[in-house]
Amino acid sequence: MEIESGERVTRAALVEAPVPSGEDLILTGFPRAVITLEALQKIKCYVDLMPLEINGFGIVEVEGSTLYITNPFILDQRVSGGHAETDSMAYNCLVSRMIREGKDPSHIRLQWHSHVSMPAYFSHTDLGTIADYEGYYDWMVSLVLNKQGDYRCRLDVYRPLRIALALPLFVRMNVADETLTEQCRDDINQHVREGWRVAGLHIPSPKSILGKNTHRMPEGDPVILPVEQILGERTEEKT
């Protein structure tokens, strides 16, 4: 689901339409959040570029006990060194546009924001913002992070019971695409040779190890890594 970041909206574009609540949240185990590497890099880039706070949203889809986060984006907002507020009209216009285009706005379940260089935690203001989404959704994922790579992630369920859970966050590393695979294959064919030592001499094989059409990349699931291995977070600071 593609959503344009920073799209400007006008009052004339606003169509009154409630946000569909979507399907009930049914988890098969203790929940965890998994974000794609591209989505994490995009959010971190927003955070690193901004000298002030910034906030945005993203798509969350559920599979088993995993909440998959993709496609982060930003809307019109006013920010300061300690505050970031999305224009509610911009948010409502986005929802209305998605409905008109046949897209499902109930997948906008991630709200993320930065604390610039301050500690990453959910402040009193943040908790108030989380509570405000009860009027839109049955559940929501929230993420706060800073320039140092510290973060907090939580799941808030609003109905039928009010529940808040800290979420472990992982990064989804997809299998290399064909372009990268071919680049690595060419490098190996150019620089790597199988060889043997005979009487102290190294005798390389004249043939490349991989050849042109052999040793295809094995098909498999993407690698899931703790986000600390990507951001280098100081985990001992977590409470």
Residue range 75-117, pLDDT digits in tens = 999 999 888 988 989 989 999 999 999 988 999 999 999 999 9
Whether the pLDDT of residue 212 is over 60: the answer is no
* Res. 14: pLDDT tops 50: no
The CA-atom distances, in angstroms, between 145 and each of 39, 45, 57 are 14, 12, 13
pTM metric for this prediction: 0.74
Position with higher pLDDT, 220 vs 124: 124
Task: Check pLDDT > 60 for residue 10.
Answer: no
How does pLDDT run across 120-174, given as a tens digit for each residue? Answer: 999 999 999 999 988 878 999 999 999 999 999 999 999 888 999 999 999 988 7
Do 51 and 116 contact (CB within 8 A), yes or no?
yes
Among 145, 122, 118, 119, smallest CA distance to 58 is for 145
Q: Which of 150, 146, 144 is nearest to 123 (CA)?
A: 144
pLDDT in tens, 174-211: 776 778 778 877 887 777 766 666 666 766 666 666 76
CB-count burial class (<10 Å; 0-12, 13-18, 19+) for 14: middle
pLDDT tops 50 at residue 239: no
